[in-house]
Amino acid sequence: MTTFLPEPHLLDSPRGRDWPPPMGTAVPVAGPPARADVVIVGAGPAGLAVASALWHLDVRDVVLLDRADRPCGRFFDRVDGLRQRVLRSPYEHHPGVEGYRDCELADFARLHWSRLTPVERREIRMAQAGHRSVVPVDVFEAYCRHIAAVHGVDTRTHQATVRELHPGADAVRVHTDRGTVTARFAVLCLGEERTSAPWGGSASVGYWDEPVPPDARSVVVVGAGLSAAHVIANALSDRRRVHWVVREVEERYQCADVNASFFRAEGRARFDGASWADRLALMGRHRRASVMFEFRPLLRAAEADGRLVVHRGREIADVSAAGVGLVDGTRVRGDHVVLCLGTTPSIGTGLLPDAIIGARDGWPDLDERTLAYTRAPRVLAVGAAACMVLGPAARNIDGHRVATARVAATVAAHLGAPSTLDRTAVGALV
Ligand SMILES: Cc1cc2nc3c(=O)[nH]c(=O)nc-3n(C[C@H](O)[C@H](O)[C@H](O)COP(=O)(O)OP(=O)(O)OC[C@H]3O[C@@H](n4cnc5c(N)ncnc54)[C@H](O)[C@@H]3O)c2cc1C
């Protein structure tokens, strides 16, 4: 049997290269307008996909509102905080709507061939040959800037924190810290918040999206996902000793957290018509914390030479300044504990009344066909909130593309926009 042993240097793409600025980039300085056809709350990869799709459908009176100061700001801040140099998703997964054959991520990378390293060029050839490929964060960020510029997203993105939405029969009022926007439709692209621990806080306990204090000589990392792997790799490279506490009997190395079938129509079809209980079971079985294959040689070598101690199959009883207490009474000690417990989908809680969200097991009540909130049809959701309709891949960049097709077509049809949409292509997606 041949064992797949990916090269660790796939993880080391350069960051901060000098990409040519996209044409027509301009960030608005004035506050958001009072009215728009569509307000998109959240300008991450999902919001970018929705705005770009609406642009293709000739819906141009669109406003994006985000707490961050630039499109996809939170996504890249998180990625850079972890010193992550490559995406987990391959070249085929990119913000946008399939069917237009706009400049796709792999096309964009090929246009910038001279800037890429030999390893990065080889990955593009892998993508062209239909194999798994690794995308540099630098390429992905330049591509997102390009997509934002050519679809007029930069000029319509306003930095604002949305406080509340009031859906009515004809319009939705969106209240922000910079005024109110009244729109005919609102699309929530809120992403996910980090999952908090049930244990009490302490100065020497932090999360994956917070810096490790520079004077910590040893860290205890809790969690079995890619964020944990990045925190461990960074700590090792900073010459810290690491303890890794993993609940499962063995850590899992996989291409993606989501079973690959859910990125394809046949996987999504398993959700269509399935009972709520079956969907919950599918979500639990097919989305599990795992680490990219590329980390395995690095982590195994560190474990073999004692710089990394892995505590496998261990349940946690408490976490405090004294370290991590395990249920068997052992205490794993370190100067700092980093909790990498993943993220929790934002479903509109706090922005919409609970009665409208209609949450069940943490998931909102969405129309299966349109992804509109059943009790507020002028408010729609794209991103992690759509998992119980589209399956676990809804949380990923590729899943946003599928949700976007439904939402953009719904909004455009109601606004009566003259559509340039290739409905056959979108029909194939949904
Ligand atoms: C470190 C990391 C790496 C990842 N890597 C990959 C990967 O390689 N491939 C992949 O497919 N997926 C990856 N993911 C999953 C990833 O989160 C999603 O694919 C993608 O970022 C989600 O896009 P989004 O637009 O839904 O959410 P986000 O990128 O989180 O965007 C949501 C936006 O909404 C804004 N927002 C939320 N609430 C409000 C409010 N009340 N007012 C104003 N603005 C608000 C936030 O500021 C944020 O910018 C990764 C996730 C993390 C955390």
What confidence tier does 6 reach under pLDDT thresholds 50, 70, 90? low
- How far is the centre of ligand 1, averaged over its atoms, from the C-alpha of 76 (Å)? 9
Alpha-carbon torsion 336, 341, 342, 343, what sign? Answer: negative
The residues that bridge with 66 in the sheet, in sequence order, are 159
Is 168 exposed, middle or buried, given 0-12, 13-18 or 19+ CB atoms closer than 10 A? exposed
Pick the atom of ligand 1 nearest to 384's CA: 26
User: CA-CA distance, 261 to 277, in Å (whole number)?
Assistant: 20
Give distance in angstroms: CA of 221 to centre of ligand 1.
Answer: 23
How far away, in angstroms, is 295 Cα from ligand 1 center? 23
Nearest residue (by CA) to ligand 1, atom 19, is 396
**Other Cβ atoms closer than 10 A to 138:** 20
Cα 392–Cα 394–Cα 399 angle in degrees, nearest 5 = 125
What's the pLDDT at 428? 40
List residues near ligand 1 (CB under 6 A).
41-47, 65-68, 73-75, 78-79, 82, 84, 87-89, 93, 161-162, 189-191, 343, 383, 395-397
Beta bridge partners of 205: 337
| Cβ–Cβ < 8 Å for 381, 395 | no
Q: What is the pLDDT of residue 394?
A: 94
Place of tokens 């510029």: 149
64 C-alpha to center of ligand 1: Å? 15
Domains of the chain from N-terminus onward: 8-194+344-429 (3.50.50.60), 205-254+290-341 (3.50.50.60)
CA of 300 from ligand 1 middle (Å) equals 30
> Would you state the pLDDT for residue 1?
53
With pLDDT > 90 as the criterion, what percentage of the chain qualifies?
Answer: 77
Per mean pLDDT, which range of 88-102, 178-192, 222-236 is the poorest?
88-102
Q: Is the confidence at residue 323, as pLDDT, over 50?
A: yes
Q: Which atom of ligand 1 is nearest to the CA of 162?
A: 42
Highest mean pLDDT among 7-11, 155-159, 280-284: 155-159
CB < 8 Å & 24+ apart, contacts of 298-301: 298/8, 298/233, 298/236, 299/229, 299/232, 299/233, 299/251
- Residues 338-363 pLDDT 10s: 999 999 999 999 999 999 999 999 99
Total-model pTM: 0.94
pLDDT, tens only, 392-402? 999 999 999 99
Q: List strands edge to edge, sheet with 331-332.
A: 316-320, 323-326, 331-332
At 29 the pLDDT is 67
> What mean pLDDT is predicted for residues 239-258?
92
Q: Name residue, tokens 């600025």.
A: 21
Res 86 pLDDT > 90: yes
Q: Ligand 1 pocket test: pick from 13, 39, 75, 123 the residue with the most ligand atoms within 8 Å of its Cβ.
A: 75
Evaluate whether 247 touches 266 at the Cβ level (below 8 Å).
no
pLDDT greater than 90 at residue 102: no
Q: What is the DSSP letter of 236?
A: H
Ligand 1 atom at shortest distance from the alpha carbon of 343: 53
Supply the pLDDT for residue 143: 95
Mean pLDDT calculated for residue range 184-204: 91
- C-alpha 394/C-alpha 186 separation (Å) is 19
Q: How far is the centre of ligand 1, averaged over its atoms, from the C-alpha of 180 (Å)?
A: 24
Choose between 354 and 427: higher pLDDT.
354
> In which region does residue 231 sit, left (phi positive, over 0), alpha (psi from -120 to 50) or beta (all else)?
alpha
The rounded Å distance from CA 323 to ligand 1 centre is: 30
Could you tell me the distance, in angstroms and rounded to a whole number, from the CA of residue 384 to the centre of ligand 1? 9
What does the pLDDT average to over 168-189?
97
Helix (H) or strand (E) holding 311: strand 308-312
Task: Give the ligand 1 atom nearest the CA of 86.
Answer: 8
Distance in Å, CA 41 to ligand 1 centroid: 12
Q: For residues 55 and 60, give the distance between their C-alpha atoms in angstroms, rounded to a whole number.
A: 6
Q: Which pLDDT tens digit goes with each residue over 111-149? A: 999 999 999 999 999 999 999 899 999 999 999 999 999
Q: Rounded mean pLDDT of 5-18?
A: 80
Directed axis angle between helix 226-237 and helix 296-304, to 10°?
Answer: 50
CA dist list (Å): 232 to 83, 226, 300: 11, 10, 12
Distances (CA, A) of 229 to 132, 252, 258, 292, 413: 20, 11, 17, 9, 44
- Is the pLDDT at 81 greater than 90? The verdict is yes
Torsion of CA 374, 260, 128, 115, to 10 degrees: 80
Average pLDDT for residues 166-190, to the nearest whole number?
Answer: 97
| 373-416 pLDDT tens trace | 999 999 999 999 999 999 999 999 999 999 999 999 999 999 98
Compute the average pLDDT of residues 57-85: 96
Res 353: pLDDT: 97
Considering only CA atoms, which residue is closest to atom 24 of ligand 1? 191
Report the nearest atom of ligand 1 relative to the CA of 191. 27
Share of the chain above pLDDT 70, in %: 92
**How would you classify residue 34: left for phi > 0, otherwise alpha for psi between -120 and 50, otherwise beta?**
alpha
Report which residue type is found at 53: A
Question: How many angstroms separate the alpha carbon of residue 345 from the centre of ligand 1?
Answer: 10
Statement: residue 425 has pLDDT above 50: no
Residues making up the chain, counted from first to last: 430
Both tokens of residue 263?
């990125």
**Helix, strand, or coil here: 429?**
helix
Pick from 159, 181, 190 the residue to mutate for probing ligand 1's pocket: most ligand atoms within 8 Å of its CB.
190
Flag whether pLDDT at 430 surpasses 60. Answer: no
**pLDDT(427) > 90:** no
* 199 band by pLDDT with thresholds 50, 70 and 90: confident
pLDDT for res 2: 54
Give the residue, 267 or 224, on which the prediction is more confident: 224
Instruction: Using the predicted structure, report yes or no on whether residue 419 has a pLDDT greater than 70.
Output: no
Residue nearest atom 18 in ligand 1 by C-alpha distance: 396
Grade residue 337 by pLDDT with cuts at 50, 70 and 90: very high
Query: Span 99-119, mean pLDDT?
Result: 90
Q: What is the pLDDT of residues 264-291, one digit of tens each?
A: 888 888 888 899 999 999 888 877 889 9
Which of 47-61, 246-260, 361-375, 379-393 is least confident? 246-260
Which positions ≥6 away from 217 have C-beta within 8 Å? 240, 241, 335
